[in-house]
Chains A and B, each alone.
Chain A
Amino acid sequence: MIPIEQKPLLEIRNLTAGVESKPILRGLNLTIYAGETHVVMGQNGSGKSTLSYVLAGKPDYVVMEGEIWFKGKNLLEMSPEARAGEGLFLAFQYPIEIPGLSMGTFLKTAVNEVRAYRGLPSLDARTFLALQREKLAELGLSSDIMGRSVNEGFSGGEKKKNEILQMAMLDPDLAILDETDSGLDLDAIKQVTAGILKMKNSQRAFLIITHYPQIVEYLQPDKVHIMINGRIEYSGGIELAALLEKEGYEYFKLQSYQN
C-alpha cells in the first residue's frame, strides 16, 4: 500500500546543533512517517544522544541551523513540556532519580498533564490503576515500584523498564528510545522489545537509538540509519544492520571518506 501524499510525522532538515558553541550534529536530515520504526546506529560520540536531546528540547542544547517539524508544527518553538504534550516521548539513556517523589504520584501527574494538553479529561483513579496494572504486568514489573521514589534504588533493568512503562502510559506519537537496550540482560531486552512491538500501530512512530545490531532483528524496523560525525551517512533497510555487524563501523567510515 502506497500512502498518497502522506505528510511526515517528523522532518529534520539540515540540523546543526550542539552544546554551547560546539556543534555535534552537522547538517543532519531525517524524515519519519507515522507508523514507521527507525533505528539509528552509530559509535559513541557520533551524536545519537544529542539528537534525542535536541528533539526533546533539553535547555542546554543549542540549535545553530536547520529546522525540525513535528506534526506540521515548528518543534523548535516549543517548550519541553509542550513537546511532550504534542506526543513526543524520550526514553532516557540514564533515567533521572528524584528522591522522595513516588512513582505513583509522578506517573499520574504526568499522564494527566499530557492529557490536559491534548484536551482530554483526567483519568479517574480506577481507570488509571487498571491501565497501570496491565502495563506493569506486560513488562514484568512489580507494582511495588509505584510506591518507591522515581528511579531511586532501581536496578539498571528496572530503570529501563520504567522508561518503557512511562512510554506506554503517556501514549506518544513519536517515541525516541536512547539506548534503552544497553545494560540489559537478554530476558530484559526481550521484555522491553516486546513492550515496543505491542505499541506499534499505524499512528505511532519509533526512533530507536542503539549500538546493537541484534535489536534490529527483534524489532524489524522500516529503516536503519548509520550516523557518523553528527550526520546520517547511510540509510537503508535491515540489511544495513547486517552489513554493519559483518564489517564494523570502520568500514562505513572509510566509505564515507572515500565519497
Chain B
Amino acid sequence: MENNQVLEHYLDTEYKYGFTSDIDTETAPAGLSEDIIRFISQKKEEPDWMLERRLQAYRRWKEMPEPAWAKLRIEKINFDQIIYYAAPKKAKLNSLDELDPEIKATFDKLGISLEEQKMLAGVAVDAVVDSVSVATTYKAKLAELGIIFCPLSEAIREYPELVKKYLGTVVPPHDNFYACLNSAVFSDGSFVYVPKGVRCPIELSTYFRINTMNTGQFERTLIIADEGSYVSYLEGCTAPRRDENQLHAAVVELIALEGAEIKYSTVQNWYPGDKHGRGGIYNFVTKRGICKGAYSKISWTQVETGSAITWKYPSVILKGDHSVGEFYSVAVTNHHQQADTGTKMIHLGAHTRSVIISKGISAGQSHNSYRGLVKFARTAHKARNYSQCDSLLLGPNCGAHTFPYIETNCPTAVAEHEATTSKISDDQLFYLRQRGLDLEKAVAMIVGGYCREVLQHLPMEFAVEARKLLAISLEGSVG
C-alpha cells in the first residue's frame, strides 16, 4: 500500500533536463534531398571529396529498406519532416567568451559549466548543440602533446589525411540504414587523434544536446589511438521535453592501433518520453571499435537511462592478436521506454579476449532486451569470451529479455555465458529501511550495488553522476 503511494508520487517526477533554450538558430528546411546535403556540406566549408562521400551515402540510403525491429514497438518515422541541419547562429568561436550566453546558460543548467570544467575537473569538453560543435576547451594544452581534439568538421578541413584514412572504415556507410543516413547528413561531432606512445592526461568529454524542435541529431565521432597510446573519452547527452519523437542517429568509430587503449564511457539521458509514452528520443546509434593492432584494447562502458527507444550495440572487432574488448553496460527502462542494447565481439585474432557485463533494470511497463553476439572466426585461435547478463525487474508489468548469440568457427576458442534474473527482495528493502533509509534511497542503494561491477569502470565524477541518474530514473518504481 505504502509503497504504491510513493510510487505514484515519484512516477510524476519530471525529466529534469526538459527545458528548451532560446538560442538563435539557423536551420535547413525539413526533409532530405541532394540539395540539403550540398547545403550542409557547404555550411561546413567541406572539401569536395567529403561532399562526394555524403552524396554516395545518400544515394545508397535511398535504396535501403528501413529496418524491421525485433523486439521494439515503433511508429513509422517520416524522414521528410526531420530537419537535418540546425545550428546556433554564432557558431564559429575564437574563445569561450564569444559563446552565446544562452548556450552558456544551458550548459550551466545542465550542471556542466564549461569554464568550471575547464578549470577544476581537468576535463576537456566539446559541446555539441543540435548539429554544431560550439566549444572545445583545453585545446592548447592537448596540442602540446600532439593530441588533436576538435569538432569533426574542423578535422575534415585541417586534417584531411587522417579523416580520409579512417572515417567510415569501421562503420562503412552501407553498414545499416541509420549509419548510412548518418554518413549522408552528419553535421558534426568530435574528432580525437592521440599520437604514438602518448597517454592522454585528461578525460576528453563531449556533451550532446538536442535543442531545436523536429531536429534530428546525427553526430559523428571518430577516435584514433595510435600505437601505444591511451585515451579515455566521455560522452553525455540530454534533450528538451517534447511531445513528438525526435531522432538521434549517431555513429561512433574507434580505432586502436598496436598496443593502444581506448576507453569510451557514455551516460545517455536523452528525454525518455512522459509516463504515458508520449514523445522522447529515438536513439539509434551505431558504435563500433576496431582493435587493429596486436595487444590493443577497447573498452565500452555505458549507462543508458534515457530515450523512448534505444537501439545500440557498441561493438569491438578484435583483429590484432592478443587484443581485448570489453563491454560494461547498465540499461534502465521505466514507464514505456524500450531498450534493445548489447554488444558484438568479433574475434578475428589469436588469443583475443572479450568480457561482456550487462545489467538490465526494468520498471513500469518498459521492456529491456540484451542482444549480443560473440563470434569466433577460424583464425581466433585460443580466443576467450566471458559474458554475464543480469536482469533486475522492478514491478510486475515490465519485461526483460536476453538474446545471446554465439557463433564459433574455431575449435580452440572458449565462450562462457551466465545469465540471471532477479527482483529486489522485500527483505532487502526492509533491512535498509530499518537502518533509516527511505524507500527511494533503499531502492537506489540496492540498484547501485547491483550495477557496481559496471559503474566501477566509469571515471570517478561520471560514476557519481551515473548513480544519481539511476536513482532519479527509478524513483518510486518499486511497488
Decide if A81 is an interface residue (CB 8 Å cutoff): yes
Whether A84 lies near B433 (C-beta < 8 A) is: yes
Majority secondary structure of chain B interface residues (helix, strand, loop or mixed): helix
Decide if A106 is an interface residue (CB 8 Å cutoff): yes
Decide if A238 is an interface residue (CB 8 Å cutoff): no
B208-229: contact bitstring with A at CB < 8 Å (1 yes, 0 no)?
A: 0000000000000000000000
A214 to chain B, nearest CB (A): 27
Whether A100 lies near B437 (C-beta < 8 A) is: no
Whether B436 lies near A100 (C-beta < 8 A) is: no
Decide if B75 is an interface residue (CB 8 Å cutoff): no
Whether A106 lies near B445 (C-beta < 8 A) is: yes
| CB-contact partner of A98 in B426, B436, B446, under 8 A | B446
Residue of A nearest to B3 (CB): A59
A53 to chain B, nearest CB (A): 9
Decide if A156 is an interface residue (CB 8 Å cutoff): no
- List residues 408-467 of chain B with CB under 8 A from any CB of chain A: 425-428, 430-439, 441, 445-446, 448-453
Chain B residue numbers with a CB within 8 Å of A79 are 2, 433, 438
Whether A105 lies near B433 (C-beta < 8 A) is: no
Whether B449 lies near A96 (C-beta < 8 A) is: no
| CB-contact partner of A96 in B431, B436, B453, under 8 A | B431
Decide if A218 is an interface residue (CB 8 Å cutoff): no
Whether A99 lies near B450 (C-beta < 8 A) is: yes
Chain A residue numbers with a CB within 8 Å of B452 are 100-102
Chain B residue numbers with a CB within 8 Å of A59 are 2-3, 426, 430
Whether B437 lies near A113 (C-beta < 8 A) is: yes
A256 to chain B, nearest CB (A): 32
Whether A81 lies near B438 (C-beta < 8 A) is: yes
Chain B residue numbers with a CB within 8 Å of A57 are 433-434
Given A58-B430, A101-B445, A105-B445, decide whether A81 and B436 contact each other with a Cβ distance below 8 A.
yes
- List residues 92-144 of chain A with CB under 8 A from any CB of chain B: 92, 95-96, 98-102, 105-106, 109-110, 113-114, 117
Decide if A247 is an interface residue (CB 8 Å cutoff): no
B188 to chain A, nearest CB (A): 38
Docked Cα-Cα span, A79 to B2, in Å, equals: 9
Chain B residue numbers with a CB within 8 Å of A56 are 430, 434
Residue of B nearest to A56 (CB): B434
Chain A residue numbers with a CB within 8 Å of B450 are 99-100
Residue of A nearest to B450 (CB): A100
Residue of B nearest to A151 (CB): B431
Docked Cα-Cα span, A81 to B437, in Å, equals: 6
Residue of B nearest to A85 (CB): B436
Docked Cα-Cα span, A102 to B449, in Å, equals: 7
B90 to chain A, nearest CB (A): 44
A188 to chain B, nearest CB (A): 21
Docked Cα-Cα span, A166 to B432, in Å, equals: 11
Residue of A nearest to B359 (CB): A100
Whether A84 lies near B436 (C-beta < 8 A) is: yes
Chain A residue numbers with a CB within 8 Å of B2 are 59, 79
A68 to chain B, nearest CB (A): 16
Whether A90 lies near B445 (C-beta < 8 A) is: no
A22-48: contact bitstring with B at CB < 8 Å (1 yes, 0 no)?
A: 000000000000000000000000000
Known: A98-B449, A100-B450, A100-B451. 15 other contacts (CB 8 A): A56-B430, A57-B433, A57-B434, A79-B433, A79-B438, A80-B433, A81-B438, A92-B434, A95-B431, A101-B446, A101-B448, A102-B449, A110-B436, A170-B435, A170-B436
Q: List 12 A-B contacts (CB under 8 A).
A: A56-B434, A59-B430, A79-B438, A80-B434, A84-B434, A90-B434, A96-B425, A96-B428, A96-B431, A109-B441, A109-B445, A110-B432
A: residues with CB less than 8 A from B are 56-60, 79-81, 83-85, 89-90, 92, 95-96, 98-102, 105-106, 109-110, 113-114, 117, 149-150, 166, 170
Q: Which 4 pairs from chain A and chain B are nearest by CB?
A: A100-B449, A101-B449, A100-B452, A110-B435
